[in-house]
Amino acid sequence: MYAQSATPLQQKSILIVDDNPTNIAVIADYLEEQGFNVLVARDGLSGLEKAEYALPDLVLLDVMMPGIDGFDTCRRLKENEKTRRIPVIFMTALTETEHKIQGFRAGGVDYVTKPFQQEEVLARVMTHLQLNELTQHLEQLVHLRTAELQTAYSYLQQLDRAKLDFIQVTSHELRTPLSIIDGYTQLLQENEKVVTDDEAFHLVQNILKGTGRMQYVLNHILDALQIEQQLIRPYFQPVHFSEIINTLHHQFDTTLQMRHLRFTSQHLQELPTIWADEELMRKLFYHLLVNAIKYTPDGGLIQVTAREIPASNKPAQMEIVIQDNGIGIEPDQLELIFEKFYQGGAVAFHSTGQTTFKGGGPGLGLAIAKGIIAVHNGQIWAESDGYDEVTCPGSRFIVRLPLHPPQ
């Protein structure tokens, strides 16, 4: 049965290390009859030399030998880079469990007891040769797949770098002509002839609205690029969140009135001062509020609540929750929404406008918010019972920030 293995035995070599000539003869003759190429050594040191030189497929190693014993010989085999993968089977008359454990700890894979049963020796030898062959094959496959993945990853990195460079250059190149168009259009808007001509004034207003929208998108792209390239360096200073939320409330006041959205805030005045980058905090909550406004139908409610989380095993934190009664988020999208360019729902059905219901956009707002949170060592996540445009289960965006800057 064993002589018909998938791998010809004539290609397999076995090193027998034993100081007893009788044992060597019995095992060596039998294994040679089975087709193996047999090497022999009479002590541990010569066994180590032959193993390193010949690199046998398996070692049969006696435990009790003069000089270094089998346990020490095995340990040295496993310490040598050339021989550490060679399976070692101990040959021993020691039957105590502690000796078997000692052999396994030294690096052996199995043992046979004296006096030998030839068929048992053959069975164990074949088993470990096959296991070792399979292990080497798997290691080669893993190495090959790892190399392929590394190549693919390097290629994707280059593509990503090229994409980011293209977006960055394009964004900067677009800023200049947009600024020129915007500047001249504002001059037209102030011209007496345009002011007194309703149609001309309307056209100029639409041009300004369009350039403003493009600048809005470009600013988002550049913010996302800075986060992607880890270029954000926050300037930590005392920040009052009530002032930030109140300022943003006034900024969105016209939109809230037009869409009959109610906006409430609670406990903001009670919050302690937090050390953070004020400009980045304003951007953070701007994006979160825009998101809430976009996905809350007209007549809905947006609430901002806050609390301090006392210190226990970690530094004290502030928690701010922005909750709406909008259309909600599918459970499998609660993490995806923070990825760059991700758009929930079918993009073709999104309306245009920054704060219109289901308004379109570059899909960068929540990704920017996540990046700002990251440089402040905070956490952000979303919660929702699901997506439904009829029942409007709503969503909650939870932000946690340390009260003090990182040391």
| pLDDT digit string, tens, across residues 257-302 | 999 999 998 888 878 888 898 999 999 999 999 999 999 999 999 9
Per-residue pLDDT, 109: 92
CB 373 within 8 A of CB 365: no
Domain boundary among 228, 263, 289: 228
Return the minimum-mean-pLDDT range out of 116-125, 265-274, 283-292, 393-402. Answer: 265-274
Interval 293-312 mean pLDDT? 89
Based on the fold, state whether residues 178 and 312 are members of the same structural domain. no
Number of other CB atoms surrounding residue 161 within 10 Å: 11
Interval 7-13 mean pLDDT? 69
Q: Is 90 a residue whose pLDDT tops 50?
A: yes
Kindly state the percentage of the chain with pLDDT values over 90: 39
Single pTM value for the model: 0.53
| Residue 341 falls inside a structural domain | yes
Interval 388-399 mean pLDDT? 93
DSSP state of 346: -
Q: Is 171 a residue whose pLDDT tops 50?
A: yes
Two tokens at 287? 């994006």
Q: Which domain holds residue 261?
A: 237-402
Dist. CA 58–CA 47, nearest whole Å: 12
**What are all long-range contacts of 114-121, with beta carbons under 8 Å and residues at least 24 apart?**
114/23, 116/23, 116/26, 116/27, 116/91, 118/26, 118/27, 118/30, 121/27, 121/30, 121/31, 121/60
pLDDT tier for residue 162 given thresholds of 50, 70 and 90: confident
| Residue 42 falls inside a structural domain | yes
Interval 297-326 mean pLDDT? 87
Per-residue pLDDT, 44: 92
Domain boundary among 100, 116, 132: 116
Based on the fold, state whether residues 32 and 174 are members of the same structural domain. no
CB 274 within 8 A of CB 318: yes
Q: Is 7 a residue whose pLDDT tops 60?
A: no
Per-residue pLDDT, 351: 45
- The CATH number that applies at residue 374 is 3.30.565.10
Transcribe 49-103 into DSSP letters. Answer: HHHHHH--SEEEEESS-SSS-HHHHHHHHHHSTTTTTS-EEEEES---HHHHHHH
Dist. CA 10–CA 381, nearest whole Å: 63
Two tokens at 76? 């040295």
Dist. CA 112–CA 331, nearest whole Å: 57
Based on the fold, state whether residues 322 and 196 are members of the same structural domain. no
| Residue 128 falls inside a structural domain | no
Q: Is 117 a residue whose pLDDT tops 80?
A: yes
The closest alpha carbon to 61, from 117, 8, 109, 130, belongs to: 109
Q: Is 136 a residue whose pLDDT tops 90?
A: no
Give Cα separations from 270 to 185, 247, 282, 306 (angstroms): 45, 17, 19, 9
Per-residue pLDDT, 194: 67
Based on the fold, state whether residues 250 and 395 are members of the same structural domain. yes
Chain segment 217-234, per-residue pLDDT in tens: 777 777 777 777 677 788
Based on the fold, state whether residues 249 and 185 are members of the same structural domain. no
Per-residue pLDDT, 361: 63
pLDDT tier for residue 49 given thresholds of 50, 70 and 90: very high
- The CATH number that applies at residue 95 is 3.40.50.2300
Per-residue pLDDT, 177: 78
Dist. CA 337–CA 397, nearest whole Å: 11
Chain segment 187-206, per-residue pLDDT in tens: 777 777 766 777 777 787 78
CB 24 within 8 A of CB 53: no
The 3-state DSSP composition of the chain as helix, strand, coil percent (nearest 5) reads: 50, 15, 30
Chain segment 330-373, per-residue pLDDT in tens: 998 898 888 876 666 544 444 455 667 776 666 788 888 999 99
What 3-state DSSP class applies to 387? strand
CB 129 within 8 A of CB 99: no
Return the minimum-mean-pLDDT range out of 20-34, 90-104, 339-353. Answer: 339-353
| Residue 362 falls inside a structural domain | yes
| Residue 243 falls inside a structural domain | yes
Per-residue pLDDT, 353: 56
Residues in the chain: 407
Give Cα separations from 67 to 45, 46, 249 (angstroms): 8, 11, 85
| Residue 142 falls inside a structural domain | no
Based on the fold, state whether residues 82 and 179 are members of the same structural domain. no
Give Cα separations from 10 to 1, 89, 113, 319 (angstroms): 15, 20, 26, 71
Based on the fold, state whether residues 222 and 324 are members of the same structural domain. no
Based on the structure, what is the number of domains in the chain? Answer: 3
Based on the fold, state whether residues 245 and 371 are members of the same structural domain. yes
- Using CB atoms within 10 A of its CB, is residue 64 exposed (0-12), middle (13-18) or buried (19+)? middle
| Residue 133 falls inside a structural domain | no
Domain boundary among 172, 200, 228: 228
Based on the fold, state whether residues 351 and 279 are members of the same structural domain. yes
| Residue 131 falls inside a structural domain | no
How does the average pLDDT of the chain come out, rounded? 84
pLDDT tier for residue 403 given thresholds of 50, 70 and 90: confident
Q: Is 3 a residue whose pLDDT tops 60?
A: no
Based on the fold, state whether residues 257 and 391 are members of the same structural domain. yes
Based on the fold, state whether residues 293 and 310 are members of the same structural domain. yes
Based on the fold, state whether residues 264 and 378 are members of the same structural domain. yes
Per-residue pLDDT, 394: 93
Return the minimum-mean-pLDDT range out of 85-94, 125-134, 239-248, 362-371. Answer: 362-371
Rounded to 5 degrees, φ, ψ at 104 are -65, -40
